[in-house]
Structure 1
Amino acid sequence: MESFNTLLKSTYAERYESRPFAVGGYNWTLVVYPNGNKKDSGSGYLSLYVAIDNSTLVSAQQEVYADLRFYIFNKNERKYFTIQDTDVWKFNVFKTMWGFSQVLPVDTFKDPKNGYLYDGDHCEFGVDVTIPSLFKKFELFSVTDHFSNPRFTWTLRGFSTLLKDSYLSDEFSIGGRSWNVRVYPNGDATREGKALSMFLCLSGNEKLRPYEKIYVRAKLRVLNQRQLNNVEKQLDAWFSGLGYAGSSGWGFPEFISLSDLKESSKGFVVNDMLIVQVEFEAVSSTKYFPS
């Protein structure tokens, strides 16, 4: 518009309607109330609406759902002020116009210092009309951070006699999923003889959907049996079926050095017994619809 103030002063021209424009097979018009739509509690405000042309509806029973986003150009900021509802609008022969009655106070809009009215009497309005497709699939992601029993403790007896590369704990359930702890007594293949390796693993009985991920925040520990300081590491990872070295687990290849572990005075191995623990802090879940 290049003569907005003239329109403001008019007693009869309470609104301006654009030429029809087509979206989704329907004709629409942008409707501007410079002094507000008084019938919709808009006095003293700039009001913006979109109206559908009834003649483009197939029948009197037809309903058209549209997402509307209105724009007002602000020259000072070189940006558009936008306003949009969180819900879509339902148009039919009984309700042909939807929008906002109180977009901006007229005094705010008219003040040239605010940038909406510029170059004397110019302003710019716009609207996006989107006909949304009804979604057929959706998913709900949530995170649980309270558990009735968040810890799993595993005792490995005869630690000095553990000759296999790795050992897997019994399966346990926390956060709606089943897990195991895997320990490499002499370190994984790349760190053999230097440090104990420990990982939290998603149970092999857990079957994830394609692209499904589980967020886990937990603490892995080697407990000190002389009531001294435990060795603890924070785990923060996404489990997606592939973890460290292609496994379904995440953890630490160098959890505690074997020199510290085997020094009896430090209290990590007592009576040839090692105790490890995992404490869960958060586990995510995703529900899919349709399931």
Structure 2
Amino acid sequence: MADTPKEEGIVKTVSDAPPSHYVVKIQSVSLLRNNIDQYISDAFDVGGYKWKLVIHPNGNKNKKVNDHISLYLKLADTSNLHPGWEVHAVIRLFLYDQKKDNYYVVQDAEEKTRRFRAMKEEWGYDRFIVLTEFNNVSNGYVVDDVCVFGVEVSVRKEIKFPGRDCLTLIQDPVEDKLSWEIKDLNFRKDCYESNALQYWKIQIYPKGYEGGKGTHVSVYLALAEAKPSTQIYAEFIVRMIDQSNSNHISSSKPEKCWFNATNAAFGWPKFISIEEFRKPEYGYLVNGSCRVEAEIKVLGMAEPDAMISNNSAHDCKEIILT
């Protein structure tokens, strides 16, 4: 076998032992080369993970390779892995010499581990073997238009990083206005909820809630959908509208708060006394109808982000100004 170009950190050897984990036998190699740029094998299990072998019979064009076969191992199913996961594995890729009954093997020197992760699910060799060497009939890599590739995987460890946030701070927040009219409000029902607007909904407790129960109408601003590990930082104000135009005002003070799955609502148990709310001259309750408005500015959001570099500190937050 002629020498292939040397690549730093890569060892190319010959082995009598076949690959212990997976083999792909390709019939009609000529048709593969002429019709398919990339072949991805079925999934196979090693070390508790599913893998696939990826073959570029004419070289990986995305890497500008056209004179070698490119061969890679891909982690096939990452849906059940912890956010921020890494799987460290040693890989050996094989090509069967059918004449000599041995295997051409490419692997990293000193059994270097490769880090499979969300940003890099595939590892291997852009220049696994020179195409002229592979196609040379004097060698035994292709016999009767058939060739055989294989792989061994040694999983060394899985790293599960703690959850991390990507915090986005909004430089020029847009104000949303949520306007809600409750018709046929009665004091038998404990709670009314508005329809959702963007991330938000309003809750009204006509008989009061928490510290205002029995004496006050309680009003809350709440997340329409409280997603786990997602936080929204908002500035907001809530008003109860005087429908009689007598210029009575019942309004909260401007507030700023982080909303999340465990703190999904912020409000005022004693927003307005039930006595005042029911007085006709104030116009808050007219023919069983009341109106509430909220003005909301989202100032920032923090969401899980497994894409942050795994070299960063475990409690790292990426700050993005928009």
Q: Shared topology, TM-score over 0.5?
A: no
Say which structure, 1 or 2, has more relative contact order (CA 8 Å, 6+ apart). Answer: 2
TM-score w.r.t. length of structure 2: 0.41
TM-score w.r.t. length of structure 1: 0.45
